[in-house]
Amino acid sequence: MNALATAVGLVFDPYNLLVMLLASLYGLFVGAVPGLTATMATALLVPVTFFMAPIPAIAAIVTATAMAIFSGDIPGCLLRMPGTPASAAYTDEAYAMTRKGQAEIALGAGLVFSAVGGLFGTAVLIVSAPALAEFALKFSSFEYFWLVLLGLTCAIVMTAERPLKGMVTLLLGLLVACVGLGNPAGFPRFTFGSVELTGGIGMIPMMIGMFAVSEIIRFAVDIAPKALIVDQPIHNVFKGMWGLTKKYPMQILRGSALGTLVGALPGAGADIAAWMSYAISKKMSKEPEKFGTGHVEGIVESGSANNSALAGAWIPALVFGIPGDSITAIVIGVLYMKNMNPGPTLFTQNPQNIYAVYLLFILANLIMIPLGWWCIKVSKQILKVPRNILMPVILLFCIVGTYAINNTPFDIGVMLVAGVVAYVLEENGFPIAPAILGVVLGGMLEENLVTSMIKSDGNVAAFFGRPIAATLGVLTLAAWFLPPVIRRLRQAAGA
Amino acid sequence: MKISDAIFGAVLLLLGVAILVHVQSFPKIPGQQVGPGLMPGTLSVGLVVCGVLLVVSGWRKRATEPWTETADWMRSGRHLLAFVAIVGGVAAYVWLAQPLGLLVVGPVLLFAWFVILGVRPLPAAAIAVVAALVIWFAFYKLLRVPLPWGVLTRFAF
């Protein structure tokens, strides 16, 4: 209880509350501008949080991302352009509602059920994370090795339409993690005599490059014509929300639960949660023929799914240090910088920090309702902000922010290369999320692999010697080999 | 810009082989069978396999998918210029920031990017100066990042 009191003190500190308010406004703005994503918001926050205490730093990220995922719905509704990829699943639906004159209901449903989904995900986080942490205390290097490998496998299976391309970016990410002295033998790998490279390739410059610089490049070469804002007066967005809650309780619950689960699975985040949820909503609906014509049901379900995914992604990130999505991949980097290394000991040694994270999530999702309502009110002004002024300013901010982490121009070069590579890869259908996961988890995978090999004296059977390790190992191998086998069997049966 | 899977595959294949050859020179941990070459070695084998699979898939599709396909923006001079300006501008910052200083390079880069992206010159110049000053103030004064002064070192405060 003492820890809880400390946590309350940390969260309701005036400085922290001010950080949350500013982060909210920032998140709402970033989410509402098409082309700026929630992941980009997080990456741009890192240079600033670098100079904060741990709890305000986490508060800034939690609040900004929750707001951004909600406000991504706004341009989807008014411009038919998703503000963040997490809103893309139901952008056409929301726009169709606006055309029917129901923009208020679409925006209101996005706001209210975003908050509901976020709170649901938080509840699951609060209940499951400590239990998992207790379980994880028994883990040795064998279990961690399989867990990381299983997480990486998930990332490929979940995100890529073509697993081969996901595999490629994963391998490239893991190889990037190999650069430098940071390996179990302390041997300088792939440094080519460069002093800068002995420290490895910085994760933060890479993230800023992959998520911010690549988006700026995409904007600069975008040849699509400008979209027009639908001019429609928006009055009370909360009207009828209680009615929707009573009409679609099952949808809200299903969306939130699926979102949390997808979020917790490594590699898949809010955007995939929304797509899956929208598809399920349509499939299970009593009136599937209305989907696509401006029907609110799918927005209720997938709008809650993408926000619950945000909280879900923190479960494996806090307990195992395995990020559930690309936002928590950045968060893990921040946690290490703040000496809050993720893992089960975080729950036993610093419970006040964990309680504070729970409180931050609850608070962020609650203040989303008034602030989001205000954001909808001023959305037309936000959507008028000229992006040809915004993007260059963000680029200069990226440059200076990247430099701020280690005060070396080398990191700016890393950022640029990462941005261009990410842009080219994505243009050619290679998913980026597995690469990020590879970079974040490469060190952990290798450390546990080498430790296990040394412990077992090179005996591979030892990887299946403990019950949990064996289970995780079988699961991982099944995820690798079952899908192709099933495909073959189906083909054989069909032929 | 679309590039055939076969070309990606070939590049990955070469990269994989190069790494595989390179890691042979890595030492083992004394008294152990494993060493720093284990992980990159295993990964490079994976790259080689993926590279071969991509080459095969690209080769099969060679009739329908050309080796390289220029994206629409590459045929538009304005967009091509924007791409070059973004990438070249950041590279220029890496080289020029130390000798010239952020307060010189920042506004010039911003102005160039604004104009290329279609902002009118006069507002572009004003916003470039103000935005660079705000970013400089936030990082140099508030966050105490030692940003380079360059040619303005005499006036540093």
Nearest residue on chain B to A455, alpha-carbon basis: B32
Calpha distance A96→A107 (Å, rounded) = 12
Total residue length of chain A: 495
Lowest mean pLDDT among A45-54, A153-162, A436-445, B133-142: A153-162
pLDDT at A56 exceeding the cut of 70: yes
* Residues in chain B closer than 8 A to A161 (CB atoms): none
> Residue A370: its pLDDT value, please?
94
**Domain count along chain B:** 2
What is the average pLDDT across A44-60? 92
Which one of B15, B45, B69 terminates a domain? Answer: B69
> What is the number of other CB atoms lying within 10 angstroms of the CB of residue A257?
19
pLDDT at A318 exceeding the cut of 90: yes
In this complex, the residue of B19, B117, B139 whose CB is nearest that of residue A392 is: B117
Same domain, B58 and B113: no
Query: pLDDT tens across A146-181, in order?
Result: 999 998 988 887 765 678 899 999 999 999 999 988
Same domain, B49 and B94: no
Same domain, B80 and B147: yes
pLDDT at A48 exceeding the cut of 80: yes
Torsion of CA A48, A54, A56, A59, to 10 degrees: 100
* Residues in chain B closer than 8 A to A454 (CB atoms): 29, 32, 34
Contact A270, A308 (CB under 8 A): no
User: HEC states along B23-77?
Assistant: HCCCCCCCCCCCCCCHHHHHHHHHHHHHHHHHHHHHHHCCCCCCCEECCHHHHCH
Same domain, B88 and B136: yes
Structural domain span for residue A257: 2-494
Record: contact B2-A446, CB cut-off 8 A: no
Most confident of A77-91, A306-320, A369-383: A306-320
Q: How far is A220 from chain B (nearest CA, A)?
A: 6
> Residue A457: its pLDDT value, please?
85
Contact A330, A207 (CB under 8 A): yes
**Preferred mutation among A152, A161, A168 to probe B, highest tally of B CBs within 10 A:** A168
Q: Give me the amino acid identity at A132.
A: L
Q: Quick one: pLDDT band at residue A436, thresholds 50, 70, 90?
A: confident
pLDDT at A328 exceeding the cut of 70: yes
Record: contact A222-B73, CB cut-off 8 A: yes
- The complex scores an ipTM of 0.93
> Residue A317: its pLDDT value, please?
94
Record: contact B110-A449, CB cut-off 8 A: no
Structural domain span for residue B45: 2-69
Same domain, B24 and B83: no
**Predicted TM-score of the model (pTM):** 0.89
Total residue length of chain B: 157
Which one of B69, B86, B121 terminates a domain? Answer: B69
Please choose, from the candidates A30, A400, A411, A437, the residue with its C-alpha nearest in 3D space to the C-alpha of residue A215. Answer: A30
Q: Would you write out chain B's pLDDT as a tens digit for each of its 157 residues? A: 788 889 999 999 999 999 999 998 888 877 777 888 899 999 999 999 999 999 998 888 888 877 888 887 888 888 999 999 999 999 999 999 988 999 999 999 999 999 999 999 999 999 999 999 999 998 888 888 888 888 887 777 7
What is the average pLDDT across A303-319? 94
Same domain, B60 and B95: no
What is the average pLDDT across A18-40? 92
Lowest mean pLDDT among A9-18, A198-207, A211-220, A256-265: A198-207
**Domain count along chain A:** 1
**Preferred mutation among A162, A169, A181, A396 to probe B, highest tally of B CBs within 10 A:** A396
Same domain, B24 and B56: yes
Query: pLDDT tens across A361-405, in order?
Result: 999 999 999 999 999 988 888 888 888 999 999 999 999 999 988
